[in-house]
Structure 1
Amino acid sequence: MNLKDIEYFHYLCKYKNFTRTAEKLYVSQPSITIALKRLEKELDAKLVIRDNSEKQISLTEAGKILEKHVNNILNEVKETKVEIGKISGSNIKLGVPPMIGAYFFPNIMEEIVKSQLANNIELIETGSLAMIDKVLSNDVDMAFIGSLAPLKDSDLEATILKVDKFVVCMSKNHRLATSEEINFEDLVEEQFIALGNEYLHNEVLKRLCYKHGVSTDKFYYTDEIQTAKSLISSGLGIGIMIEMAVKDMTSIKKVKLQNSIKFYISLAFKKKHYTTVKEEKIKNIIINCKNCLG
C-alpha cells in the first residue's frame, strides 16, 4: 500500500468530506479520490459510501476495518521516525510538569550535568494530566508525572521516585494556623487560592470541596505557583499544595489534612519504547537519584 494513500484515507475518515479533506491537506480533491480508488482496487472492496445530497461520506464495513488499522499503521510510522531520529542524534525529549520541575527536578538535573548529558535533553513542560498523553503519543521519550495513585496503564512503564502529600497552606496569622491538623469541613467559609487546570492540585481541591460540601465559588485562580504562594502568605486565601512546594517557606503555615492525600511522582515511558544508550543512562541517573531527594 502507498503510505500517502493511507494518510489521505485517515483524514477522509476524520472529516467525512472530500473537499474538506483536500483543503486540510492542501491537495486537490482528485488526489483524494485517486488515492481512495487505489486502495479500493488493492483491497478489492468498497470502502466508502457517498451521500451526494449532504456531500458527506460514510464508511462501509471494510472501510471501518481499514480505518482501525490505518490508525495503527500511522502511529507505527511516527514511532519509527522518532526512534530512527534518536540514532541520528536527535535530543531526548524529557517531560517535566511545572511543579515537579520547580521543586523536584533541579537535584536530578545537577547529576545529569555532571554526566555531561544535559546537552542531549530537550525539556517539554506541561501538566501531569496532559503529560501522560504526550508519553503515549511519542511526543516525549520519558516524563515525570504526578498522580494521586501509582500509575497503572497497560501502555506505560513507571517507576515511583517519591511519595509526597497534600497539606493545607495559609498565612501565619490565619485563625487555624495553630492547628496540628484540619478536617476539610472546617474550611467551608474560606476563600481559596486555586491553581490552573494543568495542575493536579486543582483536581484535588475540587474533589475535596465536592466531598465536604464546600462551595467552589470562592476561588481565586492563577496559573503561577509563585503567585499562589504570595497570595496565601499575604492572607488573601488558603490553598492545597504538595508539601515539597512549600517546605522551606517560613511565611506560610503548613497544616496536615486529617485524611491525608498522597502525591506520587513517577518516571514514566511508553512500553516497547526503543531506548538509546544515552536515554538509558539518563533514565538510570534519574532512578538512582530518588534516594537523595528526601
Structure 2
Amino acid sequence: MNFRDLEYFVQLANDRNYTKTAQHFSVSQPTITYMVKRLEDELQVQLFVRDQSHHQVNLTLAGNEFLAHAQKILTELHTVKSDLKALSAQKVRFGLPPIIGNYYFPQLAQKLLQENLMSHLETVEAGSATLTKQLQEGNLDVAILGAIEPISIPEIATVTLAKTRFKIIVSKDHRLKDVTAIKFSELKSENFIALKEGFVHPAALRELTEKNGFQPKIVYTTPDINVLKGMVHENVGIGFLSEMAISGERDLHAIDILDDDQPLFNIVLAYHPQVNPLIEQLINVLARPV
C-alpha cells in the first residue's frame, strides 16, 4: 500500500466515477482500476460496487470504513510534510565575531554539518559588544561571544566554551623580535595598532594599560584583523591579539605577557533559553568539548 493509492482511493470515493478521477490526476483510467484491485487484494475486502444504471461506483460498508482511515492518514501525512518543510526552512539568528569566526568556529563546523545544522544558521558577523546588544534586544537567538569578564545579561544563559591568553605581536624587524615574554609596562613607548571598539581586544588593552598606569600610543585602529596584522608586519606598530588569532602565524613574532592577573579571552556561548528544539539541538552541539 502506498500514499498515492490512498489519494486515488479518496478521490474516487468522492467522484464515484473512474474516468473523472483519472482526469483529476491526469492518469489513465486503468491506473485507477488497478489501484482499486491492489487495495482490495491487500485488504481482502471489496471496497466499491458498480451502479450500472448511473455509470458510477459506490462504497461498500468496508469501503466507507477504509475511507475514514485513509482520510486521517492523508491528513496526518500532509501535517508531517508541512512540519518538516517548516523545520527545513527554519533559521537560527546566529551571532559570530570575526575573530572567533575565523579562528575558533571552524573547529565546530564539522559537528554542525554532521547534525545537519549549518544550513539553519543565519549568521550575523560583528564585534562581541555589538552582538551582545543585539542578543539583549532579541535580534539574535544564539551568539558566540568574546569576553574578558563573566557575561551576566538578564534572561540570557551562557556557557564558557574556551579560554585563551592575549599576546603582543611584532614585526620580525622590530627591536623585540627576539623577546619571548615581556612585562606590559615595558611597552609604554610603543606605537600600537589596535582593533576598533566593539571587539573584546580594546577592553582588554585598556585593562592592562590602566593597571600599568599609562595610555597606549594607538597610531591606527581597524575593524579588520588582517589589516592589523599587515601593518604590524610592516613595522608600523605592535599589535595586541588573542593567541587564537595568531596560531600558526609565521610572518609575525608573538610575545607572552608576564603580568599577573592579566585578562583572558573567554569564548562564551550565549542564548535565549527556550523550547525551540532546533535551537536546543544547536546549543547542545556547540557546548560539547571541541
Short-chain TM bin = 0.5 to 0.7
* Partner residue, 1:74: none
Question: Which residues of structure 1 form unaligned runs of 5+?
Answer: 1-85
Question: For residues 215 and 268 of structure 1, what CA distance do their matches in structure 2 show?
Answer: 32
Per-residue CA distance 1:126-185 (angstroms, 9 max, x = gap): 111121221222111111011102323342211110001111111123222222311111
* Partner residue, 2:155: 155
Are 2:147 and 2:266, in contact at CA under 8 Å, matched by a contact in 1?
yes
Q: What TM-score do you get using the length of structure 1 for normalisation?
A: 0.64
Q: What TM-score do you get using the length of structure 2 for normalisation?
A: 0.65
1:88 to partner: Cα distance = 9.7
Question: For residues 109 and 88 of structure 2, what CA distance do their matches in structure 1 show?
Answer: 24
Change (3 A) 1:134 1:275: farther
* Most deviating of 86-95 and 216-225: 86-95
* Partner residue, 1:263: 265
For the pair 1:223 / 2:223, whether they are aligned, the reply is: yes
* Partner residue, 1:97: 97
Question: For residues 173 and 261 of structure 1, what CA distance do their matches in structure 2 show?
Answer: 28
1:216 to partner: Cα distance = 3.7
Larger radius of gyration: 2
Are 2:180 and 2:254, in contact at CA under 8 Å, matched by a contact in 1?
no
* Partner residue, 2:240: 240
Q: How does 1:47-66 map to 2 (within 5 A)?
A: none
Aligned-pair RMSD on alpha carbons? 1.9
Are 1:87 and 1:276, in contact at CA under 8 Å, matched by a contact in 2?
no
Q: How many residues align?
A: 203
Secondary structure of the equivalent of 1:153? coil
Amino acid at match of 1:236: V
Are 2:192 and 2:217, in contact at CA under 8 Å, matched by a contact in 1?
no
* Partner residue, 1:118: 118
* Partner residue, 2:251: 251
Q: How does 1:1-294 map to 2 (within 5 A)?
A: 89-259=89-259, 260-270=262-272, 273-288=273-288, 291-292=289-290
Question: For residues 218 and 200 of structure 2, what CA distance do their matches in structure 1 show?
Answer: 19
Secondary structure of the equivalent of 1:256? strand
Question: Which residues of structure 2 form unaligned runs of 5+?
Answer: 1-85
Amino acid at match of 1:151: I
Question: For residues 266 and 129 of structure 1, what CA distance do their matches in structure 2 show?
Answer: 13
* Partner residue, 2:50: none
1:112 to partner: Cα distance = 1.1
Secondary structure of the equivalent of 1:245? helix
1:94 to partner: Cα distance = 0.9
Are 1:196 and 1:223, in contact at CA under 8 Å, matched by a contact in 2?
yes
Amino acid at match of 2:287: I
- Give the share of equivalent positions with the same residue, in percent: 27
Question: For residues 203 and 221 of structure 1, what CA distance do their matches in structure 2 show?
Answer: 14
Question: For residues 172 and 88 of structure 2, what CA distance do their matches in structure 1 show?
Answer: 55
1:199 to partner: Cα distance = 1.3
